[in-house]
C-alpha cells in the first residue's frame, strides 16, 4: 500500500530543515475530525525558534506545498498542516489493502522478536469467580490479543491465587466439617461455606487458627496429606473457572500461580539480603521505601513465611530468566497500585534494569445496577450467572425476532456473552462503571449486539450478491461523502490498534467499532448496494466487504465473535 504519511513527510521535509524525515514521519497525527483531512502535521515546536505563531507557520508551510495527484488539498488550521488524500486514491489504497490483508488488517510487526507477558484474570482458588473478575479477565484477554496482533511473542499467564495461609484454614475446615462429594458437586460455593464457617468458629475457638498455621507449614514442607488436599481443592476450583473461561473464549499459556514460586523464594530472599535491600525489623524482614515516599514492604514474617509481595518478586525474576520479556504486563485493579509500585521499586533497587519493563495496567471498579440481577448466590454475584442470564435473554430475543435462524444457541452465546464483554470494554479502563444488563443487550445504541448486527448485515448483503470480483473497480464511484467517510474510518484502524497497544486500552478499539458501525449504517441507509448499475454495485460491495472485515478484526481484538447471521 502507498505510504501516504511517507509522501507527506517528504513534502514537509522540503520546507523544514530542523527535523529528519523520520522525525517528521513520527510527528504526524490523525486530525481530530475527518473533515480536516487525513494527516496532520503539528508546527508547535517551531514557534519559539522562528518567533512566529504555530498558526502562521502552518499556514506558510501549507501554502508552499502544492497539491498534487496524491493530496488533493493541503490546508492549515490551529497550528497544523492538514493533508487531504485524493478520494479515489484513498479509496483504492485502503480497500485493496484490506482485501489483501484480511484477518491481519490492522496488525503490525513492531513486536517481532520480542516477548510480551500479559498476566491477567489471576483468580483465587476456592473463592468465587465473581462479576468483578470480568475486568482483569477481559481487559487482559483483549491486550493479549492486541499484543499478538502486533506480532509480539505473547504469553498469557494466570497468576492463580493458590497459596497462602488461607489454605491451612481450608484444610482444617474440610477435615472438621467437609464432605468430598458435596464439594465436588458444587465446589466454589461449598468451599466458600467452609471458609466462612472456619472464621466463625475460630472467633470462638482460637486454637483453630493455630492448627491452620500448622497445616500451612505442612503444606510448605511438602507434607503428603496437606499437598493432596491442596491439590484437590485447586483442581476442583479450576474446573469451575475453566467453564467460565470457555464461555468467555479466554485462554492462557500458563497457570503458574503463586504456589509455583514457593520453591523459588529462598533464592530471591538470598539475593535480596545480598544486595543489601532487606533489613531486619522486629524479627521480620522489610524493605525500607521511605526514600521513595512509600511505606515499608514486609517481605518475610516473623515466622519466616513469605507474603504475596515476596511471591510477586520471585515471579518477576523467574519470568525475566525464563521468558526474557521485553514487556511484563500486569492487569490488576487500581486498589493494588501501591503494592505494584513497591515491588517494581524493589526490583529496581536490586539492580535489575528491567524493572522499567514491568507495567501495572490498572482499572477501576464495576458495580451492579440495583435489581439488574436476581441471581445472587449469597451476597456474591457470580460472573457465570451473569453471562448465562445474558445468553438466556438473547436467546429469547432471537426467538422473537428471528426464530428460523440456524445455530440459534451458538449465536445467543456469541451475542449474549459478547454484549457483557463489550460493555465491560467500552469505557476507559480506569473509570469505575455500573453494569446494566438491560443496556448491554440493546440492539440500538453503542452496544455489542449493535456492532455484531452491523457485521451480520454486511455479511448478508455480500451473500445476496453472490460472487463479485475485485477486478477493474472504478474507485471514482466511492468518492461521495458517505462512502469516503466510511473509508477514512477504515483507514484509521491500524493506528487505532497501535494506540490501544501503546496505552493498554482496549476501549479505544471498542469505541472504534461503534464509530465504524454507525458510519457504515449511515452509508447503508442512504445507498442501495445492489443496483442495476453493475459497476456501481461492484464498487459498493467492495466497500461493504472491507467494513465487514474490519469490524470482524476489531471485535476479535476485544474478545468478541462476529456471527455471520443474527
Ligand atoms: N489473586 C490476586 C487478587 O485476587 C490478584 C493477583 C494479581 N497479580 C499479581 N501478580 N499480584 O487480588
Q: Residue 517 sits in a domain of what CATH number?
A: 1.10.730.10
* Cell numbers placing 143: 491486550
The CA distance from 410 to 413, in Å, is 5
Q: Considering the domain boundaries, does residue 200 fall inside one?
A: no
Cβ neighbors of 346 (< 8 A, separation 6 or more) are 272, 277, 287, 289, 297, 313
Nearest residue (by CA) to ligand 1, atom 10, is 312
Q: Considering the domain boundaries, does residue 100 fall inside one?
A: no
Q: Among 154, 155, 156, 152, which Cα is nearest to 113's? A: 152
Q: CA separation (Å) from 295 to 290, 333, 341?
A: 6, 20, 11
The CA distance from 236 to 152, in Å, is 33
How far, in Å, is the centroid of ligand 1 from the Cα of 161?
Answer: 7
In the listed set 54, 70, 85, which residue is the last one of a domain according to the structure?
A: 85
Q: Considering the domain boundaries, does residue 22 fall inside one?
A: yes
The CA distance from 556 to 148, in Å, is 12
The CA distance from 484 to 78, in Å, is 24
Return the ligand 1 atom nearest residue 312 CA. Answer: 10
- Looking only at the bridges linking them, the beta strands covering 278-281 and 39-42 are unpaired
In the listed set 39, 68, 85, which residue is the last one of a domain according to the structure?
A: 85
Return the ligand 1 atom nearest residue 339 CA. Answer: 11
Rg (CA), the chain: 28
- Looking only at the bridges linking them, the beta strands covering 39-42 and 80-85 are antiparallel
282-301 pLDDT, tens digit each:
999 999 999 999 999 999 98
Q: Among 233, 125, 220, which Cα is nearest to 175's? A: 233
How far, in Å, is the centroid of ligand 1 from the Cα of 122?
Answer: 6
Nearest residue (by CA) to ligand 1, atom 11, is 312
CB atoms within 10 A of CB 218: 18
Pocket of ligand 1 (CB under 6 A): 119, 122, 124, 159, 161, 312, 330, 332
Q: Among 397, 559, 496, which Cα is nearest to 150's? A: 496
Ligand 1 pocket test: pick from 159, 241, 314, 315 the residue with the most ligand atoms within 8 Å of its Cβ: 159
* Cell numbers placing 285: 524482614
How far, in Å, is the centroid of ligand 1 from the Cα of 260?
Answer: 14
In the listed set 63, 85, 107, which residue is the last one of a domain according to the structure?
A: 85
How far, in Å, is the centroid of ligand 1 from the Cα of 28?
Answer: 39
pLDDT at 243: 96
pLDDT at 374: 44
The domain containing residue 21 runs over which residues? 4-85
Return the ligand 1 atom nearest residue 336 CA. Answer: 12
Write out 246-299 in H/E/C secondary structure. HHHCCCCCECCCHHHHHHHHHHHHHHHHHCCCEEEECCEEEECCHHHCCCCEEE
Nearest residue (by CA) to ligand 1, atom 1, is 161
Nearest residue (by CA) to ligand 1, atom 6, is 122
What is the residue whose three cell numbers read 468458629?
201
Nearest residue (by CA) to ligand 1, atom 5, is 122
| 251, HSE (Cβ side, Cα atoms, 13 Å) | 5
- Looking only at the bridges linking them, the beta strands covering 327-331 and 366-368 are unpaired
The CA distance from 8 to 70, in Å, is 9
- pTM (2 d.p.): 0.94
Q: Considering the domain boundaries, does residue 411 fall inside one?
A: yes
pLDDT at 371: 53
Domain count, the chain: 2
How far, in Å, is the centroid of ligand 1 from the Cα of 392?
Answer: 31
Ligand 1 pocket test: pick from 123, 311, 332 the residue with the most ligand atoms within 8 Å of its Cβ: 332
- Looking only at the bridges linking them, the beta strands covering 115-119 and 71-77 are unpaired
Cβ neighbors of 366 (< 8 A, separation 6 or more) are 131, 132, 134, 135, 424, 432, 433, 434, 435
The CA distance from 144 to 152, in Å, is 10
Return the ligand 1 atom nearest residue 340 CA. Answer: 11
Catalytic residue set? 127, 130, 133
Q: Could you tell me if 238 and 188 are in contact, meaning their C-beta atoms sit under 8 angstroms apart?
A: no
pLDDT at 375: 43
361-387 pLDDT, tens digit each:
999 999 887 654 444 455 678 999 999
Q: Is 53 helix (H, G, I), strand (E, B) or coil?
A: coil
Q: Considering the domain boundaries, does residue 397 fall inside one?
A: yes
pLDDT at 378: 57
Per the DSSP assignment, residues forming a β-bridge with 39 are 83
pLDDT at 164: 85
Cβ neighbors of 560 (< 8 A, separation 6 or more) are 414, 418, 421, 422, 448, 452
CATH of the domain at 34: 3.30.1360.70
Ligand 1 pocket test: pick from 118, 130, 139, 161 the residue with the most ligand atoms within 8 Å of its Cβ: 161
Per-residue tens of pLDDT for the chain, all 566 residues: 889 999 999 999 999 989 999 999 999 998 888 788 899 999 999 998 889 999 999 999 999 998 889 999 999 999 999 999 999 999 999 999 999 999 999 999 999 999 999 999 999 999 999 999 999 999 999 999 999 999 999 999 999 999 988 899 999 999 999 999 999 999 999 999 999 999 999 999 999 999 999 999 999 889 999 999 999 999 999 999 999 999 999 999 999 999 999 899 999 999 999 999 999 999 999 999 999 999 999 999 888 778 899 999 999 999 999 999 999 999 999 999 999 999 999 999 999 999 999 999 999 999 887 654 444 455 678 999 999 999 999 999 999 999 999 999 999 999 999 999 999 999 999 999 988 888 888 888 899 999 999 999 999 999 999 777 778 899 999 999 999 999 999 999 999 999 999 999 999 999 999 999 999 999 999 999 999 999 999 999 999 999 999 999 999 999 999 999 99
Contacts 24+ apart (CB under 8 A), 274-279: 275/349, 275/350, 275/351, 277/346, 277/349, 277/350
Q: Could you tell me if 458 and 521 are in contact, meaning their C-beta atoms sit under 8 angstroms apart?
A: no
How far, in Å, is the centroid of ligand 1 from the Cα of 454?
Answer: 37
What is the residue whose three cell numbers read 499437598?
227
Q: Considering the domain boundaries, does residue 513 fall inside one?
A: yes
Q: How far apart are the first and last CA of the chain?
A: 34
Q: Considering the domain boundaries, does residue 113 fall inside one?
A: no
Alpha helices in 305-434 (DSSP H): 308-323, 337-349, 383-401, 408-424
The CA distance from 232 to 179, in Å, is 13
Q: Considering the domain boundaries, does residue 46 fall inside one?
A: yes
The CA distance from 524 to 544, in Å, is 9
Amino acid at each position: 500500500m502507498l505510504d501516504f504519511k511517507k509522501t507527506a513527510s517528504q513534502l514537509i521535509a522540503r520546507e523544514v530543515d530542523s527535523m529528519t524525515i523520520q522525525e517528521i514521519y513520527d510527528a504526524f497525527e490523525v486530525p481530530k475530525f475527518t473533515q480536516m483531512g487525513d494527516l496532520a502535521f503539528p508546527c508547535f515546536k517551531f514557534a519559539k525558534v522562528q518567533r512566529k505563531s504555530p498558526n502562521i507557520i502552518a499556514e506558510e508551510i501549507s501554502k508552499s506545498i502544492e497539491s498534487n495527484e496524491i493530496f488533493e488539498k493541503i490546508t492549515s488550521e490551529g497550528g497544523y498542516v492538514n493533508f487531504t488524500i485524493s478520494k479515489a486514491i484513498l479509496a483504492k489504497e485502503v480497500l485493496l489493502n484490506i482485501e489483501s490483508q484480511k484477518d491481519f488488517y490492522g496488525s503490525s510487526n513492531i513486536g517481532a522478536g520480542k516477548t510480551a507477558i500479559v498476566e491477567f484474570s489471576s483468580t483465587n482458588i476456592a473463592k468465587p469467580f465473581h462479576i468483578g473478575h470480568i475486568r482483569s479477565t477481559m481487559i487482559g484477554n483483549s491486550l493479549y490479543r492486541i499484543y499478538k496482533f502486533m506480532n509480539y511473542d505473547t504469553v498469557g499467564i494466570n497468576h492463580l491465587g493458590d497459596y497462602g495461609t488461607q489454605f491451612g484454614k481450608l484444610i482444617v475446615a474440610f477435615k472438621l466439617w467437609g464432605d468430598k462429594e458435596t464439594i465436588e458437586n458444587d465446589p466454589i460455593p461449598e468451599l466458600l461455606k467452609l471458609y466462612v464457617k472456619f472464621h466463625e468458629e475460630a472467633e470462638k475457638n482460637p486454637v483453630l487458627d493455630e492448627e491452620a498455621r500448622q497445616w500451612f507449614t505442612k503444606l510448605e514442607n511438602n507434607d503428603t496429606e496437606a499437598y493432596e488436599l491442596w491439590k484437590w481443592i485447586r483442581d476442583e476450583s479450576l474446573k469451575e473457572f475453566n467453564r467460565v473461561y470457555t464461555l468467555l473464549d479466554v485462554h492462557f499459556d500458563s497457570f503458574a500461580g503463586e504456589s509455583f514460586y514457593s520453591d523459588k523464594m529462598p533464592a530471591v530472599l538470598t539475593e535480596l539480603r545480598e544486595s543489601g535491600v532487606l533489613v531486619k525489623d522486629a524479627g521480620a524482614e522489610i524493605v525500607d521505601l521511605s526514600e521513595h515516599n512509600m511505606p515499608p514492604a514486609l517481605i518475610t514474617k516473623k515466622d519466616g513465611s513469605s507474603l504475596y509481595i515476596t511471591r510477586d518478586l520471585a515471579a518477576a525474576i523467574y519470568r525475566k530468566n525464563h521468558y526474557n520479556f521485553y514487556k511484563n504486563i500486569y492487569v490488576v485493579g487500581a486498589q493494588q497500585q501501591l503494592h505494584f509500585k513497591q515491588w517494581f521499586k524493589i526490583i529496581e533497587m536490586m539492580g535489575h534494569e528491567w524493572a522499567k519493563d514491568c507495567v501495572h495496567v490498572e482499572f477501576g471498579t464495576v458495580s451492579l445496577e440495583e435489581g439488574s440481577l436476581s441471581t445472587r448466590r449469597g451476597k456474591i454475584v457470580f460472573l457465570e450467572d451473569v453471562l448465562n442470564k445474558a445468553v438466556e435473554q438473547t436467546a429469547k430475543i432471537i426467538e422473537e425476532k428471528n426464530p428460523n435462524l440456524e445455530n440459534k444457541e451458538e449465536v445467543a452465546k456469541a451475542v449474549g456473552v459478547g454484549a457483557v464483554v463489550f460493555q465491560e470494554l467500552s469505557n476507559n479502563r480506569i473509570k469505575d462503571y455500573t453494569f446494566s444488563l438491560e443496556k448491554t443487550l440493546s440492539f440500538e445504541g453503542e452496544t455489542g449486539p449493535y456492532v455484531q448486527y452491523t457485521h451480520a448485515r454486511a455479511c448478508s448483503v455480500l451473500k445476496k450478491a453472490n460472487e463479485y470480483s475485485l477486478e477493474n473497480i472504478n474507485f471514482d464511484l466511492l468518492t461521495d461523502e458517505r462512502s469516503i467517510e466510511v473509508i477514512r474510518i477504515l483507514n484509521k484502524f491500524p493506528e487505532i490498534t497501535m494506540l490501544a497497544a501503546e496505552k493498554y486500552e482496549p476501549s479505544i478499539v471498542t469505541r472504534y467499532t461503534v464509530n465504524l458501525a454507525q458510519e457504515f449504517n449511515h452509508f447503508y441507509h442512504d445507498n442501495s448496494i445492489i443496483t442495476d448499475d453493475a459497476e456501481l454495485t461492484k464498487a459498493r460491495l467492495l466497500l461493504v466487504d472491507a467494513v465487514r472485515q474490519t469490524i470482524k478484526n476489531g471485535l476479535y481484538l476485544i474478545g468478541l465473535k462476529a456471527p455471520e447471521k443474527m
